Amino acid sequence: MKDRVDLTSGSISDKLIKLALPIMGTSFIQMAYNLTDMIWVGKVGSNAVAAVGTAGFYPWLAMAFIMISRIGGEVKVAQSIGENNLNKTKSFIKAAIEINIILAIIYSIIVIIFNKGLVDIFKLGDEEVISMSRQYLVIVASGFVFYFINPVLTSIFNGIGNSKTPFMINTIGLIANIILDPILIFGWFGFQKLGVAGAAIATITAQMVVTLTFLIKIIKSKDEYFKVKLFRNIEFDSYKVLYKLGLPVAIQNGMFTLFSMAIGVIVASFGPVAIAAQKVGSQIESISWMTADGLSVALATFVGQNYGAENYDRIKKSCKIGIITSLGLGIITTIILVFLGKNIFSLFIDESDAIIKGGMYLKILGYSQLFMCLEIIISGIFKGLGRTYISSIIVTILTGARIPMAYLLSKSNILGINGIWWSISLSSILKGIVLMSVFIILIKTNKLYLHSKKSISFKEEYASSSEEE
C-alpha cells in the first residue's frame, strides 16, 4: 500500500519529524487562509475586519461537527493500520466521510436560513458591520461542504501515515486563496470590487480547489484503503465507534467556540476596534497553537498506530519527545509575543488605537504559550490512545471559566479590556498545568493504557534514553 507509512518500527525521532513537519505545514496553511483574509480585509478597515471576525465564529463552530468524523476517523484509521486490518480501515474511512457530508449539509442549511439571528447575537450596533457580516456568512456557508470535507480527508491521510499529500494539496488551495483575495476584494485586473464578499468567495473557491485535488488523488490512487462506495451498505457500528471517539472532542470544540462567542460579546461592548484587535491578534497568536497542534496530530497518529500494534515502549518514548519539543516551542513563542507582539500586529492594521490594543493582547497571551503548548500535546497523546474524554472534560471546564473571569476583570477600572485578555491567558495556564498533572498521575499509577494486553512499568520512563531516538 504505497500511501501507508509504517510508524510501528524504525527510528522514533526520524519518523515523528517526517510525519510532523508536513502536518505542521498543513496547519500553517490553514492559519494562512485566515491571515491572508485578515491582511487584505484589514486594508479595507476595522469595520470590515469586525464583520469577517464576527461571521467567522460560525465556520469555527462548524469545526465541532467536523471533529466527530475527523478525530474518530484519524484515531481508528491509525489504530486499524497498526493492527494491519484492511477491512476495518476501509470501514472507518467510509464512515468518516459519510458522517461528514451529512453534517455539512445540515449545518449549511441552518446557517443560511438563520444568518440574521446568528449575527444579531453579537449586538454589533453598526448597520454596515452587520450587513457585511451577514453577507460574508451566507457566502461562506454555501461552500461548507468543501470546508467540512477537507479536514477529514486530511486526517485520513494522516492516519495512514501519509502527511505529505495533505500538505501539498492544501498548499495548492492556499496559493489559490492568496491569488484570489486581492483580485476579488479590491477588483484588480478588471474584476468587480467586492470587498468582504470577495474575501468569502475567495475562501470557498480555494476550499473547492482543495477538495477537487483530493478527489483526483484518491481516484488515481491504487491503494485499497480508498476503494469504498459511499452511502452503500452503511455500517452503523463504525458510525458508533467514530461518534464515541469524536463526540467528546466535538463537544469540547463546540463549547470552546460558544465560550469564545460569549467572550466576543463582551469584547464587542468595547467597539469595532476592540473586535478587530482580538480577531487579528488571535490570528497572529495562532502561529503558536497551530504549530503545537501539528505536532499533536502527528503524535496522536504515531501513538495510535503503535497502540494498535501494542508497541507501548515506542509510545512512551514518543511522548517524551513531544513534551520536550512543546516546552521549547512555548518558550520561543512567549519571547516573540511578549517583546515583539506590537510590532508584528502593526503589519496587519495601520490604525494606532488598534495597534495598541492588539499589541497588549499579544503580550498578555504570550505569558501562557508554554502551558498552552503542553495542553495541546497532552491532548494529542490521549487522542492517540482513544481516551479523548479526559482532555475534553478538563479543557471544556477550564475554558468555560473564562466567561465569568472576563466579565469581572473587564469591569475593573484598572484592567478594562485587558481583563478579557488576562482571563484567556490564565485559563490556558491552568489547562496546561492540570492536563500535565493528570498525565503524570496516569503514568505513575500504570493507568496510561486502557486496554493493554501486557503489564507495562513506567518507573524508568523518563530516566533513560532510547537508542532509537
Type of residue numbered 383 = K
Task: Look up cell 521549547; give the residue.
Answer: 328
**306 in any annotated domain:** yes
Contacting residues for 280 by C-beta, under 8 A, at least 6 apart: 38, 42, 49, 345, 348, 349, 354, 358
**463 in any annotated domain:** no
Write down the pLDDT at residue 466: 40
**291 in any annotated domain:** yes
**220 in any annotated domain:** yes
**451 in any annotated domain:** no
Average pLDDT, the chain: 85
For the stretch 56-83, pLDDT in tens is 888 888 888 888 888 877 788 888 888 8
Cα radius of gyration rounded to whole Å, the chain: 22
Q: In which band, very low, low, confident or very high, does the pLDDT at 232 lie, cut at 50, 70 and 90?
A: confident
Largest CA distance in the chain: 69
Report whether pLDDT(102) > 90: yes
Report whether pLDDT(131) > 70: yes
Report whether pLDDT(166) > 50: yes
Q: What is the mean pLDDT of residues 394-413?
A: 92
For the stretch 176-217, pLDDT in tens is 988 998 999 898 988 888 888 898 999 899 999 999 999 998
Write down the pLDDT at residue 452: 42
- CB burial class (10 A; 0-12, 13-18, 19+) of residue 410? buried
Type of residue numbered 48 = A
| Enclosing domain of residue 422 | 12-444
pLDDT-above-90 percentage for the chain: 32
Write down the pLDDT at residue 457: 37
Which of 15-19, 112-116, 285-289, 382-386 is most confident? Answer: 112-116
Per-residue three-class SS string for the chain: CCCCCCCCCCCHHHHHHHHHHHHHHHHHHHHHHHHHHHHHHHHHCHHHHHHHHHHCHHHHHHHHHHHHHHHHHHHHHHHHHHCCCHHHHHHHHHHHHHHHHHHHHHHHHHHHHCHHHHHHCCCCCCHHHHHHHHHHHHHHHCCHHHHHHHHHHHHHHHHCCCCHHHHHHHHHHHHHHHHHHHHHHHCHHHCCCCCHHHHHHHHHHHHHHHHHHHHHHHHHCCCHHHCCCCCCCCCHHHHHHHHHHHHHHHHHHHHHHHHHHHHHHHHHCCCHHHHHHHHHHHHHHHHHHHHHHHHHHHHHHHHHHHHHCCCHHHHHHHHHHHHHHHHHHHHHHHHHHHHHHHHHHCCCCCCHHHHHHHHHHHHHHHCCHHHHHHHHHHHHHHHHCCCHHHHHHHHHHHHHCHHHHHHHHHCCCCCCCHHHHHHHHHHHHHHHHHHHHHHHHHHHCCCCCCCCCCCCCCCCCCCCCCCCC
Q: How many domains does the chain have?
A: 1
**461 in any annotated domain:** no
Q: How many CB atoms lie within 10 A of CB 270?
A: 16
The rounded distance, in Å, linking the Cα atoms of 92 and 243 is 11
Write down the pLDDT at residue 376: 94
Q: In which band, very low, low, confident or very high, does the pLDDT at 439 lie, cut at 50, 70 and 90?
A: very high
**456 in any annotated domain:** no
Write down the pLDDT at residue 403: 93
Which of 2-16, 128-142, 214-228, 275-289 is most confident? Answer: 128-142
Distances (CA, A) of 338 to 335, 364, 375: 5, 7, 20
Write down the pLDDT at residue 2: 54
Overall size of the chain counted in residues? 469
C-beta separation of 239 from 94 below 8 A: no
Report whether pLDDT(465) > 60: no
Instruction: Give the closest residue to 253 by CA, choosing from 428, 96, 71.
Output: 71
**370 in any annotated domain:** yes
Write down the pLDDT at residue 460: 39
For the stretch 240-256, pLDDT in tens is 888 888 888 888 888 88
* Buried-state track 279-308, b at ≥16 Cβ within 10 A, e below 16: bbbbbbbbbbbbbbbbbbbbbbbbbbbbbb
Per the structure block, which three cell numbers stand in for 302?
A: 504515531
